[in-house]
Chain A
Amino acid sequence: MTAYIGRRLLQMIPLMFGISLVLFALIQAAPGGPEGALLQGGRMVDARMLDAYRHRLGVDKPVPEQYVRWLGAALSGHLGVSYSSSQPVSKMILERLPATLELMGVSFLLAALAAIALGIFSAVKQYSAFDFLGTGFSFLGIAMPVFWFALILQMVFGVWLKWLPISGTHTVGATSFSDHMEHLVLPAAVLSLRYIAGWSRYLRSSLLGVLRADYVRTARAKGLPERVVVGVHAVRNALIPVVSVMALNLADLFSGAVITETVFAWPGIGRMFVQAMLARDYPLLMGILLLGSVMVLIFNLVADVVYAALDPRIRYD
């Protein structure tokens, strides 16, 4: 297994080269440039000033040359300096990463626990009122646009009921843990909703299939209580396909955080990404997009490893 993981990690190196090339080309292909930020500032600028600005940033050079220079720096560990803040990109990302990872992690745990509970109950009580409610909730959760759901929650819990804060990570001046947790509730609820909906559906249908399997009948024929038949014999098998989907979805959670962080003013990577995009901050965009790509690759590997851990029939060597 260790050798397999090592091999998969090595395979990622050439892949990352390809990905960086595509990303670089795509970013450059987008209309406009970093000088646009100057113009948006509303200051009087003439063409000479713009040229000087472009020359200073190095974006007046041919794109292949820019890529080679960027790559050379990236290989020695420098992801460049942000155009808009003049700070090192790696420093900016590392500052914002904990907030995003916290939101992602909490949302993932919330989604996984809720989806597993919901999925098991829906399958065991198939066609019950609970099952129908769960089905309705799931379709709602999958169909509802994230930003809209976020706005509704802000209105209901923040404005009308005044139970929860609607933006940021802390109340100004407050440092308590509970204050921070209150700020986390709404964004985590929004980010996890569609995964609760999707995963619980998936687990429900997987478990419904497994509950009809011969080995479940064998378990019942042994005289095991239903709790053990479902909890040990059925759920473990039903989770195999669901858990790999969960691991793959972790990468989606990262990009899904963009909208949620923006709506809730959560100071994470997602919000910084939107700002970098608007400012055509090429080095920062490259840094964030590469981080997203690494996450996709890593979570793919995690999915495969978890798959093997759950199912003894799967062996990598």
Chain B
Amino acid sequence: MTGSRSGPDATRGPARPDDSPPAASDDGRPLLEVRDLVVRFDSDAGPIHAVNGVSWSLAPGGSMAVVGESGSGKTVGMLSLLGLLPNTGRVEGGEAVFEGRDLLRLSPAEMREVRGGKIAMVFQDPMTSLNPVLSVGYQLTEGLRRHRGLSRRQARARAAELLDLVGIPDPHARLDDYPHEMSGGQRQRVMIAMALSCDPSLLVADEPTTALDVTIQAQIVELVKRLRTELGMAIVWITHDLSVVAGLVDRVAVMYAGMLLEEAPVTALYAHPRHPYTIGLLRSMPTLDGPTHTRLPSIEGAPPDLRTRPTGCPFAPRCPWVVDPCRVERPSLEVVSGEHRSACRRWRELDALEAMEASP
């Protein structure tokens, strides 16, 4: 898990005892390894630097959350791996090795086999992500017939099983429903069923709970947790909500301005965040035992304008503990401990800096 400027990539090469690649599986090979991914968008005002050299990897059956605010490149990065960027976007560099092949260099036909068949996506808004004029059954069976070669009848039977799996009652009857005849939560269950239909080895969930109300959010999170243990697929969960991911994934990657700032096992990230941005994010979360009737702290300033590629640390303009070198030199991801990495040059001092801030 390294930034583009970091020396030898820690996820490759011989594993050091205390620094084994977090993504390593039994045979040591990650399911998906992204290296130095760069994505740009064309705009009238020049290129938008959406993803600026991001590297990470995921073990088979592993789970990771990618956390960041809007425009941090978390969604664009995943879409680019599947060739689903809008027309104005393009991958400028990097590679994404999935089951031995670089996704970024597949032919259109090879990519279609991966999409839906090996890597499936669940999108943010279930209200607009299902086709309004096609029945749920039709949309569910399309992938099965294409990737698995099932007949119409077989696909329909499998589709009913899938609806049952994601907890939709009376699945056979619901196959003939249209999306508008279902609630938002049910539609997201259908989206998940659709994604799972061809037993993908990786499920990418792009803020699947953002458009749903809180009780439904919890149901969907529980559903994905259950399905993950039952089916054993790997998960990348994209979200801007740190509170959602706690019980859901093993690792969290924090993105900002198209770069990876911190990456850690989920418990370590909550207990010992080693990047000022992560600290800011965690502080701005409401807690049950926190003070009432006070404003939640927020991070001063605004995210950088991505029309110019950030020089130095992208968080420097908003960082309370910024020092001069931060503005000039882009920090590399340094190993904090084990699987915990931070792109802050002062990560060692953060405890002291926080204590000073609290005491004056």
Contact = CB atoms under 8 A, between A and B. Distances in A.
B142 interface: yes
Interface of A: 212-215, 217-226, 228, 232-233, 236-237, 240, 310-313
Classify the secondary structure of A's interface with B. Answer: helix
Given A217-B84, A236-B134, A313-B180, A222 B194 contact: yes
Contact of B128 (A215, A219, A232): A215
Contact of A215 (B82, B115, B121, B131): B131
A222 B108 CA distance: 13
B123 A217 contact: yes
Contacts of A240: 133
B86 interface: yes
A50 B117 CA distance: 87
Contacts of B82: 221
Nearest to A220: B84
Contact of A219 (B117, B120, B125, B131): B131
A202 to B, nearest CB: 18
B132 A312 contact: yes
B132 A313 contact: yes
Interface string B39-71: 000000000000000000000000000000000
Given A215-B128, A236-B133, A313-B178, A221 B121 contact: yes
Interface in B79-117: 82, 84, 86, 108, 111-117
B147 interface: yes
Nearest to A215: B131
B337 interface: no
Contacts of A224: 112, 116, 142-143, 146
Central interface residue in A219, A221, A225, by most chain B CB within 10 Å: A221
Contacts of A226: 108
B146 A237 contact: no
Interface residues of B, number: 31
Nearest 9 A/B pairs, CB to CB: A223-B116, A223-B115, A222-B116, A214-B128, A215-B131, A223-B112, A312-B178, A214-B129, A221-B121
A237 B84 contact: no
A311 B132 contact: yes
B130 interface: yes
A317 to B, nearest CB: 15
Contacts of A310: 133
B37 to A, nearest CB: 18
Contacts of B143: 222-224
A311 B133 contact: yes
Contacts of B120: 221
Nearest to A211: B87
A312 B182 CA distance: 13
Nearest to B109: A225
Nearest to B127: A214
A215 B130 contact: yes
Contacts of B133: 236-237, 240, 310-312
Contacts of B132: 215, 237, 311-313
Nearest to A237: B133
B134 A233 contact: yes
A215 B178 CA distance: 13
Given A214-B123, A313-B180, A221 B131 contact: no
B76 to A, nearest CB: 13
Contacts of B135: 312
Given A214-B123, A312-B180, 15 more contacts: A214-B125, A214-B129, A219-B131, A221-B82, A223-B112, A223-B113, A223-B143, A224-B112, A224-B142, A224-B146, A232-B134, A236-B133, A237-B132, A312-B133, A313-B180
A226 B109 CA distance: 10
Contacts of A225: 112
Nearest to B124: A214
Nearest to B120: A221
Contacts of A221: 82, 84, 115-116, 120-121, 123
Contacts of B116: 221-224
Interface string B146-176: 1100000000000000000000000000000
Nearest to A310: B133
A199 B140 CA distance: 32
